[in-house]
Amino acid sequence: MRKKKTSFIPSLETVHYQLQRHIKLTESYTEIKGLNNLIKNCRLKPYNFLFNKKYNHMDVILHREWVDEFGNYLIIDKKKIKIIYNDLWLHDKLVCSDLYYGLSLNKIIKISKCIHIFYGKDEDLYQDCALITFVGLDNFYRSYLFLYDEWQIVSSLLLGIPSLLYLSANPKKLKAGQISIKKNDPIPCLSSSEWLFSLPLSQKAVSQLDKECPSLLPFLIGD
* pLDDT at site 2: 45
* pLDDT at site 56: 65
* pLDDT at site 6: 41
- Boundary (domain end) residue, out of 28, 60, 90: 90
Measured CA to CA, the distance from residue 108 to residue 221 in angstroms comes to: 12
Q: Are residues 19 and 121 in the same domain?
A: no
Q: Dihedral (C-alpha) 75, 80, 82, 88: value to the nearest 10 degrees?
A: -10
* pLDDT at site 216: 87
Closest CA to 35 of 69, 72, 82: 82
Q: Are residues 212 and 166 in the same domain?
A: yes
Structural domain harbouring 67: 12-90
Measured CA to CA, the distance from residue 162 to residue 110 in angstroms comes to: 26
- Boundary (domain end) residue, out of 90, 124, 154: 90
Q: How far is CA 49 from its chain centroid?
A: 19
* pLDDT at site 125: 61
- pLDDT digit string (tens) for the chain, length 223 residues: 444 444 444 555 666 788 888 899 999 999 999 999 999 999 999 988 888 777 666 677 889 999 999 999 999 998 999 999 988 888 778 888 888 998 989 999 999 999 999 888 776 666 788 899 999 999 999 999 988 888 999 999 999 998 899 889 876 777 777 787 656 556 666 667 888 999 999 999 999 889 888 888 888 886 5
Q: Are residues 83 and 113 in the same domain?
A: no
Q: Are residues 109 and 83 in the same domain?
A: no
* pLDDT at site 3: 44
- Boundary (domain end) residue, out of 55, 90, 125: 90
Position 130 in a domain: yes
Vertex 72: Cα angle to 198 and 177 (nearest 5): 20
Position 3 in a domain: no
Q: Answer for the pair 195, 179: CB distance below 8 angstroms, yes or no.
A: yes
